[in-house]
Structure 1
Amino acid sequence: MKTITIRLLTLADCPALLDFETRNRGWFEQHVAPRGEAFYSQAGVLQHIAELLAAHAQGRGFPGLLLDETGLIIGRINLKDMDLQTGVAELGYRLDQDRVGAGLATAAVRQMKALAQRQLGLQRLDAVVSPANPASARVLQKCGFERLDPAASAALQRGDSPLIAYRCRLDRPAD
């Protein structure tokens, strides 16, 4: 398997991120709620990055890029709703359609778990997955996430789409 690196998103990443998001738009919209049309522009992506970096500066998130060995953006991995007091954050990720099935998502989630625990001091990560995306559920399970009961999943649901909730304690080793 080729190596991947997680790096903090910057404003300078705007052109490459816009390209990545535009190329994969149809693929992503099969698995997550679509972004508004305004997102798919230089100004839209710049605003998105600025909001993520503001949350990061306040200790409420970590917007990461997944880069291949050449420095090309092949995915994103983020921590959001981060609470350093309780040690909890929500994990989300997306991978270039052409890169799925090669173990890269699993490697990225494992790397982010280590970063979350060692560098950010987090104790727990939560994640949600659409029932229509069993591959993401398998990635989370391989990385030590446990599926929550339906009531807990309903509590984490956004909008009308049903989601399945997962949780991982970072003080316990995964497989």
Structure 2
Amino acid sequence: MKKMLLILLVTTLSFSQEKELTVAQIDSICSVNENYGYKIGHFEMENDKKENIGKGQYEIKTFIYPKNDNTFNYKPTSDDVIKEIKNNKLIKAIYVSNVFRTNLEESSIYCELYYSKSELFYVKISLLKSIPNKDTITENFEFKIDKKSKIKNVKNILGYNLNDIIHNFNSEILDFNN
């Protein structure tokens, strides 16, 4: 009887836990399912003297993991359906930022953020810098995110603190997704 109870308990616990998705699995799900949310915005850049030194735009796309296979077949026509879609978990977001400076220099950040149970766990970042009459330079980084550890500041072509970039992008994505 004790063995039967133990088997039943282990089986129940095994099926009740959410499975952890890998980066490859998340990419596969996102390639099949359409993005859940989309946002675009614009910004102006100023130097310390409050002079305009450029402008830019950003774009956010979010992807969710459906609780069931029918989630993406829903037509959001009632509050219940919208609530069902909102209860799904964020699994990936793409944040793109493009900056156009008055000196004709351009820079871009393409960031893919991966989530498990709506918590950030992995980031891929591509940086691009384009200077007139010179080559375009790109750098790529990948970081495993842990609540306990902080990403060490890595020198990069844009001179940005990547830890701050990831934190700011993640905060904006979570605000947008909720």
- What TM-score does the superposition give when structure 1 sets the normalisation length? 0.29
Please state which structure has a larger fraction of its residues in strand: 2
**Bigger RCO of structures 1 and 2 (CA < 8 A, at least 6 apart):** 1
- What TM-score does the superposition give when structure 2 sets the normalisation length? 0.29
Please state which structure has a larger fraction of its residues in helix: 1
- Select the structure of larger CA radius of gyration: 2
